[in-house]
Amino acid sequence: MRIINFKLLAELTGVLAIVGSLIFVGLQIQQEQRVAESEVFMSALEAKVGIDAAVAEHAEIWVKAKNTSDLNEVESQVMESLVMMYRDRAFFESMATLTIDGASGPLDFSQASGPTLSFAVLLHKNPGAQRIWFNLADREARYFERPGGINVVESFNDAVKAHLAALNKRLGDQPI
């Protein structure tokens, strides 16, 4: 009888040890996900600070593009670079958001509405930047075209265009 009780106690202890280790692993995974999210947010903040510094350095071009389309060749190139920096930040932040959220299969950027909406608001506020972005999007659509495949760049652009359309409907075509 004592042997049976000892065996039962050993089995019960083993089961409790396994359950405890599974709980520990689950908590560790949860903590690692929070660390990954924090790293993404820090990277996004660093990118934003860098882009804001670049815009501040070229503020006169940014304002000129906002109010008119008359940019010389150098100003156009600077403005295109600034828009591409904002776009790339929003694109990669959207991809990181989708990855952290556990997206599987083709990336649906409409589900990463934070970064795409922020970019759409920036474009809505600056018609010159919006014009440049539409030109970039049209030009890049030809380069990244994949017959029969999912085009992540086009998916991102479609999400931004949907946000822009909603902003224009709600706020009008004039920048806020």
Q: Are 166 and 121 in contact, with CB atoms under 8 Å apart?
A: no
Q: Are 86 and 119 in contact, with CB atoms under 8 Å apart?
A: yes
**pLDDT tens for residues 76-104?**
899 999 999 999 888 888 887 777 666 55
| CA separation for the pair 59, 128 (Å, rounded) | 13
Confidence of residue 176 (pLDDT cuts 50, 70, 90): very low
| CA separation for the pair 167, 9 (Å, rounded) | 66
The whole model's pTM is what?
0.69
Tokens representing 98? Answer: 């989708």
- Measured in whole angstroms, the distance separating CA 131 from the mean position of its chain's CA atoms is 21
pLDDT at 140: 77
